Amino acid sequence: MIALRDSELREVMQAAQMVPYDLRQLFLERLALELRGKDLGASLVHRIAFEVARTMTWDAERAAS
């Protein structure tokens, strides 16, 4: 389990909006794996959340083509 501050949770929620609805659970699981063991802060959570979201969105778009 990862504990997030309000500002960090807002970053996650904002990044999740980029991800197709049916992939959001997977997004959260991948994000949790990436964040595990790191010294969290809003900027780190933002960077990693958007990296994961972009990767998943790009992969979903490629699969649909």
Say what the pLDDT of residue 18 is: 94
Cα–Cα dist 45/17, whole Å? 15
- Does residue 14 carry a pLDDT above 80? yes
Residue range 34-44, pLDDT digits in tens:
999 999 999 99
Whether this model's pTM surpasses 0.85: yes
Question: Which residues neighbour 16 within 8 Å (Cβ) at sequence distance 6 or greater?
Answer: 24, 27, 28, 49, 53
Question: Does residue 64 carry a pLDDT above 80?
Answer: no
Identify the pLDDT of residue 65.
Answer: 66
pLDDT at 51 over 70: yes
- Provide the residue type at 15 as one letter: A
Per-residue pLDDT, 58: 82
